[in-house]
A and B are shown apart, each in its own frame.
Chain A
């Protein structure tokens, strides 16, 4: 039996009776024999590994179920392509494959809804203009002004802005946690929705939100700051503010749906 030093990824639990090396031996044997259900068996055997790897990317804006699905598919791919004769442990082969697929998923899903490239490019062009144009005009531009400066027609701008709302501008490393810098910047611990008229009934719901989202709701709907001012205050783009507001309200609607 080949016994290799355990890696961090090996440290997941898989029952007391199976060591990572033993599991790799079983996988190599199954896949080497080419049994019809070998891949299925290997997928079941490595389920804890898949969960462990997917969990490393949790809370980065993608639903955990999606990450698990991506990781599972990557495991199937690795099991189908693994060559036991090459002398590599199965886990040494599978782990980079799974991690690679999860990272690729994050790259590809920068657009949380599949948006045509044409719209992505327009939205990105507009994003730049939405940073500079308010400064030049001293106010938020109209859609017509934005269209004129972007060399697009109004329809195209509206379409791109709608698509822009689905774009994830936060990098997966930047906003990994919930209680991030945005929440701290506005001292949200001082905010008490439960003493603000009109918000009392929803205060318990809002308290369950991450601090950043509480901060955004407070600034937008209690202080009634326009998106551009919030963007300036928090040092993020207006499109980012818009996207976060939409997403947070969607989450709240889902949470309050009977």
Chain B
């Protein structure tokens, strides 16, 4: 299992940077092009969701574990000066999409801020 971490400013224009890294790692994990495309969509959705629920966040972190045929992603933002108390303002589209695109998608609340965990493998 190889872990790659990336931290970028918590702004939407940096999402493509995270997406490219994750797509590259998906290719290294030997996922099919379908799955790499799903990874791209899921990354965009998860990162966009985090930025929407934590508008005061400063840093967007992405940690990716890749193994043959499986990729696990943890995307996280610090909760910034505004604090995050609820997921209600987040786009409602996110969860149906993430559930369809990945094997597992869950939101976790940590003291450092909200995080989304995704797992995608080639078995589906």
Contact = CB atoms under 8 A, between A and B. Distances in A.
A228 B41 CA distance: 16
B33 A221 contact: no
Contacts of A161: 33, 36-37
B24 A158 contact: yes
A245 B96 contact: no
B95 A198 contact: yes
A256 B93 contact: yes
Contact of B41 (A140, A202, A245, A257): A245
A252 B45 CA distance: 11
A202 B30 contact: no
A156 B35 CA distance: 18
A102 B35 CA distance: 38
Size bin of chain A's contact surface: 35 or more
B93 A144 contact: no
B34 A258 contact: no
Interface string A41-63: 00000000000000000000000
B70 interface: no
A180 interface: no
Nearest to A221: B100
A45 to B, nearest CB: 41
B30 to A, nearest CB: 5
Contacts of B106: none
Contact of A253 (B23, B26, B48): B48
Given A158-B24, A242-B37, A201 B30 contact: no
Contacts of A205: 92-93
A146 interface: yes
Contacts of A220: 100
A143 B20 CA distance: 14
Nearest to B20: A162
Interface string A133-172: 0000001111110100000001101100110000000000
Nearest to B97: A221
B75 to A, nearest CB: 16
A226 B122 CA distance: 12
A213 to B, nearest CB: 13
Interface in A203-258: 205, 220-222, 224, 226-228, 238, 242, 245-246, 249, 252-253, 256-258
A142 B32 contact: yes
Contacts of B96: 198-199, 202, 221
A203 to B, nearest CB: 10
